Structure 1
């Protein structure tokens, strides 16, 4: 076996929670690997267990999926309950779309559709709050694929707002973060979502597939740059405060 000097200083893995058999952590996974974090990928919907502690992990990322945080499925309820682990242990946690909505449910907030059943599917603007601007520079446009939004949990700081769904990014305490939008999509992932999600483009306020792909050419570079800095904010800086 070849000696790898980096093995001695390797960071503990980040727990990656996915919700479909073929789901991928995409660009989030790629960037975390580049930053030196191994990935521990689990799919509770397929029977994988989540750890009883994050003492041996650098944190956790819970991704999106076609299900709702309001669904009665056992794994949905179990995941929401499990979020007490990173909160209690003050370990870095990032919830993306469904993962953010699950965090809101764990914190006692509500997840619901727009009163007119309008969706955000495509590229839409976000507006950082003062607290968000103090943390980092934000992209003007982000990619969405959701039909529900969430309340801002009691005690959380709103970091970015949207025009239709007001709560787009928040921080709770030192180490728990939630974002409503998707910065993790690679080009191949977006093309797959556009094909398999085309039936949703008839929903109110949804953009058509060509707008998704055209928007990527215009808006993806600043979104990718933001994501790299955001992951540093969530994991690198958060880890310094909990080690």
Structure 2
């Protein structure tokens, strides 16, 4: 294990029920502690200056909504500084959009909401960390998308949006989709996002059925991916 990296993982939440999900159990099994920070409530400077792994989680707001959510200004500034130092950072959904924005790429509203379980086109690049997700359905839940940052390696696409995941070196990983969702906790999402789901004419019962069908398999693949990531950065 790399002694330079502490054995606590920091996670920044933008919505109470969008947590680390199945990844939290994995981290505990591997001997890590987990500490959450609430965006908009907590001072995020400590989380972004942390030399260990910081994971930026999802949420329903856009990175460009700084007038309505001014805490994003500091969050983006701290994130830029973190990425310049190449500290280990993972972004999921909104977290991926924040990383893309901090690296100078454009983040903007997509032409359609992508919500539901479906597969990915895993790109043919050397040692693609997302290779285990070939032929595996993941949970998509976003309306915004982003351009690929300079010096980033595209890892995955979907039928709707070409930029679904990218990596910068070994330390920085951005995932537009959700690999962390746990089978037994999706109901929180269905309740919390009911207004968005009904406005987008998304079938809640169909989402629930697909969760029962695909979530367990996704959890198994997520474990492989995150163990590999932790290994690559010297944390396990």
What TM-score, normalized by structure 2, do the two folds share?
0.87
> Which of 34, 51, 61 matches 2:55?
61
Q: Does the 8 Å CA contact 2:10/2:34 hold for their aligned counterparts?
A: yes
**How big is the shift at 1:11?**
4.6
**How big is the shift at 1:60?**
0.6
* Paired position in structure 2 for 1:229: 224
The C-alpha deviation readout for 1:154-189, integer Å capped at 9, x for no partner, is 110011111111111110122100001112222343
Q: Specify the SS of the correspondent of 1:163.
A: coil
Unaligned runs of 5+ in 2: none
Cα distance in 2 between the residues matched to 1:108 and 1:20: 25
1:122 aligns with 2:123: no
**How big is the shift at 1:134?**
4.1
The C-alpha deviation readout for 1:62-81, integer Å capped at 9, x for no partner, is 00012111111221121111
1:184 aligns with 2:203: no
Structure number, greater radius of gyration: 1
CA RMSD of aligned residues (A): 2.4
1:145 aligns with 2:134: no
Cα distance in 2 between the residues matched to 1:75 and 1:22: 19
The C-alpha deviation readout for 1:79-122, integer Å capped at 9, x for no partner, is 1111134323322110000000000000011111223xx11111
Distance 1:161 1:49, change over 3 A: closer
1:90 aligns with 2:125: no
What TM-score, normalized by structure 1, do the two folds share?
0.84
**How big is the shift at 1:144?**
1.4
* Paired position in structure 1 for 2:42: 47
* Paired position in structure 1 for 2:125: 131
**How big is the shift at 1:23?**
4.5
Q: Does the 8 Å CA contact 1:11/1:38 hold for their aligned counterparts?
A: no
Aligned residues between the structures: 228
Q: Specify the SS of the correspondent of 1:102.
A: helix
Distance 1:22 1:199, change over 3 A: closer
**How big is the shift at 1:133?**
6.6
Distance 1:215 1:21, change over 3 A: closer
After TM superposition, where is structure 1 displaced by more than 4 Å over at least 4 residues in a row?
none
1:161 aligns with 2:135: no
Distance 1:89 1:44, change over 3 A: same
Cα distance in 2 between the residues matched to 1:83 and 1:20: 18
Cα distance in 2 between the residues matched to 1:184 and 1:129: 21
Q: Specify the SS of the correspondent of 1:25.
A: coil
Distance 1:151 1:71, change over 3 A: same
